[in-house]
Structure 1
Amino acid sequence: MALQPPRITMLRMPAELPRPGESVTVSCEASSELPELTLLYWLENGFFVESLHPDGTVREGTVQEEPQGSELALHRDLHFSSFDSRHLHTNFTCVVLSPLGVDTRELQWPSPALGPVTERSGGLG
């Protein structure tokens, strides 16, 4: 049987939109049949997170590995020390990569709860 490419199995994130200033963690889980040759990492707008945040305000956790039959489950967190509204409009992508292929999953924040409408329409009154 041929080896399968790695795949992202789950992206865990808060059920509600984080508030500015909150500490937030998002988790990415993947599986691979070539664990010793597999990388799991996060990108921000196509760049490595550490290169954009040398201060550590957004940082990756360490990769955790757990055997699952013939495969290995990999897990890596993305930590926001102080969530900022600009993060809502930033493209964060979890990537799993091995010689067998690549899989990606984009982070999609929950939609903000609809509050009362405060704008007035431009209609005639």
Structure 2
Amino acid sequence: MALQPPSITIVRTPAELPRPGESVTVSCEALSALPEFTLLYWLENGFFVESLHPDGAVREGTVQEGLQDSGGRTLHRDLHFSSFDNRYLHTNFTCVVLSPLGVDSREVRWPSPAPVTGKSGDLG
């Protein structure tokens, strides 16, 4: 059985568009057959997040590892925004997984703004 290249399985964003000043976390999960040789990291417009935010306003969490049924491992890493700024909506945040078997990446897609309706929704 050939080892598969790593792959991003999910990038989780908040269900609603973040508000300015809010503390926000985005999560990335990846699958790797060689977790001990795999890097999972975040880029902002192609640069390492920590190099652009030495103050920690945007920072990566630690990599967490879990088991996968197929024998590989899931890797999980969060991206934390201490005080969300609307400019981040127009910034390219990318989760990257890299191993000797290959590379995969996925961009953050922020949720669309909630539609404004004239009446409040009821639960029925």
TM-score (norm 1): 0.90
State the aligned residue count: 116
Residue 94 of structure 1 corresponds to which residue in structure 2? 95
In the alignment, does 2:110 pair up with 1:106?
no
CA distance in 1, matches of 2:13, 2:109: 9
Q: 1:115 offset after TM fit, Å?
A: 4.2
Whole-Å separation in 1 of the counterparts to 2:50 and 2:22: 20
Q: Structure 1, unaligned stretches of length 5 or more?
A: 117-125
Q: Distance in 1 between matches of 2:67 and 2:116?
A: 45
Q: What is the rounded CA distance, in whole Å, between the counterparts of 2:87 and 2:115 in structure 1?
A: 19
How much has 1:113 moved relative to structure 2? 2.5
Q: Taking every aligned residue pair, what percent have the same amino acid on both sides?
A: 80
Which residue of 1 is the match for residue 120 of structure 2? none
User: Are 2:65 and 1:72 aligned?
Assistant: no
Larger Rg: 1
1:52 and 1:79 map into 2 onto residues whose CA distance is 14
Residue number in structure 2 paired with 1:28 = 28
Aligned-pair CA distance for 1:112: 1.5
TM-score (norm 2): 0.90
Runs of 4+ in 1 over 4 A off after TM superposition: none
Could you give the per-residue CA deviations for residues 77-105 of structure 1, whole angstroms, max 9, x where no partner exists?
00000000000000000000001000100
